[in-house]
Amino acid sequence: MGKNKDIEIASNILAQAIIHKIVPDYTNKPESIEHMKKEQIEYKTQSFKTLAERNWNEDGKKKIRENVIEKVQNILRLKYPDIIIDKEELLERINIELTEYLL
């Protein structure tokens, strides 16, 4: 696969992992929290495997970070409109999570 395709795949998986990490903290549906936590573990595992397949330079990490931020914002807006989170707080949470994946 090409680098751009790898970036897209990694961004998709990372966005899902981060969504499943953030949503349980803000949801008003307690019945979905346990499911979200289990899904987050699965996406996290997939993320580490996907990221390990390539040596990422700073440019690649930057592109992944930008894609993930955009995807997380879109997913929250489209799939979780009941979740209200300040944009700055959301960006901070995303960046905290991304540092774990993209050292």
Q: What pLDDT digit, counting tens, does each position of 9-24 carry?
A: 999 999 999 999 888 8
Q: Which of 101, 7, 15 is nearest to 54 (CA)?
A: 7
Task: Encode pLDDT of 30-78 as tens digits.
Answer: 887 888 888 888 988 888 888 888 888 999 989 999 999 999 999 999 9
Amino acid letter at 4? N
Q: Where are the domains of the chain?
A: 3-101
Segment (H or E) for 12? helix 3-26
Assigned token pair, 64: 């992944």
Cα(98)–Cα(62) distance, rounded to whole angstroms? 11
Half-sphere exposure of residue 98, counting CA atoms within 13 Å on the CB side?
A: 20
